[in-house]
Amino acid sequence: MGLKLYNAQLSPYSARVRLAIYVKGLDAEIVDAFSTPELEAELERVNPMAKVPTLVHDGHVVPESEVICEYFEDMGMGVALRPSDPKACARMRLFSRIGDLYLMEPMQRLFSQINPKGRDHALVERELAELAKAIKWLEAFLDGSPFAVGDSLTLADCTLVPMLFFYDHIGPMFGSADPFATSPKLGKYYRGLQDNPHVARLVAELEVALAKVMGRK
């Protein structure tokens, strides 16, 4: 079984897939798609969307992080990260949906405003309000357990870990010393998950990648 992942180390979507790969113990070649012009051109040939993450499995191309993670499950690769119970599975997908649509979208718009010089304060205020809604929803749906769903890691955790990493870092950039101050369950969940060695590995990778980017600013 040949697995190749076109990856960007700081992408939360690529990170979602990497975490699934680590937890499942899959033997995958992970390449930085934008590290060389040759790899970037290769990605464009493989996937006309030219986006990461893109998985190639024995010549079969699978784009988009959620699709890739579900593909792992459908193919029965490694330990299962999708609950068998339909209610638990719906809950898992709800967390991923909130993360993709309501958490990441305002954060992506805020990333363009990190530099205080020339900051659009109206945009920042609007997006911080949207971000606060998403955090409130996640806080409400978490039940205080160590994992988002059930008693083990699922695809919901693979989605939320990298997104909450960025939430934890973007808060201080906009004046919030403790981004989890109003969402204690969410903060406890995110920090507790880092006791897992696979999660800790991913967070360490993101820390290194973010430090490199911030060092260039």
pLDDT at residue 215, as a whole number? 80
Both 157 and 104 in one domain: the answer is: yes
pLDDT at residue 36, as a whole number? 96
The CATH code of the domain that includes 149 is 1.20.1050.10
Residue with tokens 């997006």: 127
- Asked if residue 31 belongs to a domain, the reply is yes
Give me the domain span that covers residue 55: 3-74
Q: Burial level of 123, CB count in 10 A (0-12/13-18/19+)? A: middle
Which pLDDT tens digits describe the chain residue by residue (217 residues)?
A: 599 999 999 999 999 999 999 999 999 999 999 999 999 999 999 999 999 999 999 999 999 999 999 999 999 999 999 999 999 999 999 999 999 999 999 999 999 999 888 899 999 999 999 999 999 999 999 999 999 999 999 999 999 999 999 999 999 999 888 999 999 999 999 999 999 999 999 999 999 999 998 886 5
CA 118 to chain centre: 28
Number of compact structural domains in the chain: 2
pLDDT at residue 26, as a whole number? 98
Both 49 and 143 in one domain: the answer is: no
Q: What is the pTM of this model?
A: 0.95
Both 34 and 92 in one domain: the answer is: no
- Asked if residue 48 belongs to a domain, the reply is yes
Both 59 and 141 in one domain: the answer is: no
Alpha-carbon gap, residue 67 to 70, rounded angstroms? 5
Beta strand 3-7 with 28-32: parallel, antiparallel or unpaired?
parallel
Alpha-carbon gap, residue 156 to 34, rounded angstroms? 27
pLDDT at residue 213, as a whole number? 87
The CATH code of the domain that includes 23 is 3.40.30.10
DSSP 64: S
pLDDT at residue 159, as a whole number? 98
